[in-house]
Structure formats: C-alpha cells, structure tokens
Amino acid sequence: MSKKRQKLSSSNLIILAAVLLATYLILILAVTNLGQTRLIESQQRELNLKVQSYATMLEYFFYVTDDEIANLSRSKSMQTYFANLASGMSMQYGLGASLYKLDKDLTEMVNHTDVHGSAVYQRINLLGFDGRVIAGTDDKKEMDVNSHDYLATDDRDFMLRAVHQDDGMHIEMVKKVYYSGKAVAYLIVDINKEVIIKQLTTQEHEGSRSRIELVEGNKGIFVWDSLLTTAESHSQKLLTNKIYFETPIANTPFQLKSWFEPLNEKDIITSGWFIAGISFLAVPVFFGLIYTFRVNNTNIILRTKVYESNKKKKILFQQNKTLGERD
C-alpha cells in the first residue's frame, strides 16, 4: 500500500510540476503579448496626439495670419488710398502719396512679420478686379492670378488655396478689401512654406522615424522624412506597413498626412521575435518533462521488481525455515 502511495505521490508531483511550468510559460506569453499590444496602442495614441497638435498649431497659424491680413485690409493707408481714388484725386494730388504709403506698409509687413526668425509672407500684392497690380512687394514678377476665380467666391471674404506650380505647391491667401461697404480689390498673399514646415517639425528629429506631408487634393508640400532614404522617398509601397494618420486642418482645404515606424519593428524586446524566443524555450522543457516521466516510470518499475523480489525471498526463507524445523 505504501509503495502504491509512493507511486501515486511521485507521479502527481511530476504532473503538478508540469502543469505549473506550463501555466508559467503561458502566463509569460500572455503578459508579453498583452504588454506588446498595450505598447503599440500607447504609441499610436501618443503619435495621434502629436499629429493633432500639429494640425491645431497650423489651424491657429492660419487663423492669426487671416487676422493680420484682415487688419491690413482695414488699415489707414489702405482706406486712405481708396478714399482718394473714389474722390477722383490724381497721382500728383494725393493719390500718388497714398499709394506710396500703401506700398511701404505692404513691404514692411513682409519684412517684419516672422515666426522664430522665419518670414511669414513671401509677397503681398493688392489687385484690382481687372487683375491689375495696384501695389505690392514684387509686382514685376508673374503671378498666378485669375480675378474671375476670386469673384466667383460669392460671399466669402477670405480664401485659402493651394497653387500648383512647376516648383511644387504654394499656399496663397486671398482677402477682399472693402471701402464704404463695397468690395474694391483683393489682397493676394503668398505664405512662406519654410515657416509652415518649421511649425510641423517642432517635435521631429532623425530618430523619430517619421514622414510628414501637407496635401491639398493629390499634390502637396513635402515637410519631413526620416523614415525613407532619398532613393526610397517616392516609393509608397514602403509605407504600407507603417502607422498612418490623415488629419484634416480645420477651416482649410489642407490635410496632414503622416507615417511613423511601428514600435514592434524598432524594439525587438516588444516584437514577435521575443514571443517566438519565449515559445522556443517551451520545447526543451516539454522534452525534459517527457524524459522525467520516462525515468520516473522506469524507477517505479525497478522499485516494484525489487519489492517483489524481496517479497519472494522472504517467502522462500520462511518456507526453508519451516522445512528445516520439520526435519
């Protein structure tokens, strides 16, 4: 009976150890997988917040810029010029002086409006409804202007649009100028792309492994790329497995497209390779348990044989002793 208990006890202990070890391995795999999932979710939330902050920052930038251009359209020099024009003044008697002052104000706004040392405006021009440049900072340059497009904006006093040219996309603001409650001209403002790029890369660096574009329609402004090499920059296939966000900029026609390197590809400790490594450890453990079961069964068989042999010896000894006493 004691041998049977020993057999059961030994087998149960090995089975219990196997169950505990298997449970431990499963628990490690489950916790690792859960931790990886939580890390990826946390990274996506963090990146989404960063992209949302960029979008909010850019929305605020355009809001402030619109406010500055609106103030310019109502400025004293602007209203004085159109007042002199409406009164029929000639260039020799007041109109020329007011035009000179207006031209000077436009130039000063371009030269002295900056964000962290970067000029906000590349040029500002005042156009009449006939497309003629009334005043501006570089009226000698060719402009992408279609006054009929502006007139077709109906009741909109302000328009932000993308102008696609040979050297890429440019951002242009159009603001109606009113005098005595009537629209009399347009302010055409070219935004400096560099200041926008700086707004969108305040948190980016070579180690951030990211790519950012500001798009309107199917064209856009390249902002940042530490994700692809120069040779790979035009290959959209390489961006397929990246974390992707497409965030609209409120009150503008633009969208912010951004790609980021997934966390599990940057850090092997949280990747599928780590889980595979932990799983691989279960293989020798499994074979070790099988070997332990076989050794235990062999020992039980040997102990049983020894016990039976000793039992037979005792019986033979008793029989021999009985026979000897009879003799």
Q: Would you kindly state where each structural domain of the chain is located, as residue ranges?
A: 61-191
Region 97-103: what's the mean pLDDT?
92
CATH 3.30.450.20 fits 61-191, yes or no: yes
Residue 135 in this model has a pLDDT that exceeds 50: yes
Of the chain, the percentage scoring pLDDT greater than 90 comes to 28
List pLDDT tens digits, range 268-307.
455 556 666 666 766 776 676 677 777 767 777 777 777 7
Q: What is the 3-state secondary structure (H, E, C) of the chain?
A: CHHHHHHHHHHHHHHHHHHHHHHHHHHHHHHHHHHHHHHHHHHHHHHHHHHHHHHHHHHHHHHHHHHHHHHHHCCHHHHHHHHHHHCCCCHHHHHHHHHHHHHHHHHHHHHHCEECCEECEEEEEEECCCCCEEEECCCCCCCCCCHHHHHCCCCCCEEEEEEEECCEEEEEEEEEEEECCEEEEEEEEEECHHHHHHHCCCCCCHHHCEEEEEEECCEEEEEEECCCCCCCCCCHHHHCCCEEEEEECCCCCCEEEEEECCHHHHCHHHCHHHHHHHHHHHHHHHHHHHHHHHHHHHHHHHHHHHHHHHHHHHHHHHHHHHHHHHC
Q: What global pTM score does this model have?
A: 0.70
List pLDDT tens digits, range 8-19.
466 666 677 777
- Binning pLDDT at 50, 70 and 90, where does residue 158 land? confident
Q: What is the pLDDT of residue 92?
A: 81
List pLDDT tens digits, range 18-57.
777 777 777 777 777 777 778 778 888 998 999 999 999 9
Q: What is the pLDDT of residue 155?
A: 67
Q: What is the pLDDT of residue 142?
A: 47
Region 167-181: what's the mean pLDDT?
87
List pLDDT tens digits, range 189-230.
999 999 999 988 888 888 788 899 999 888 888 888 888 765
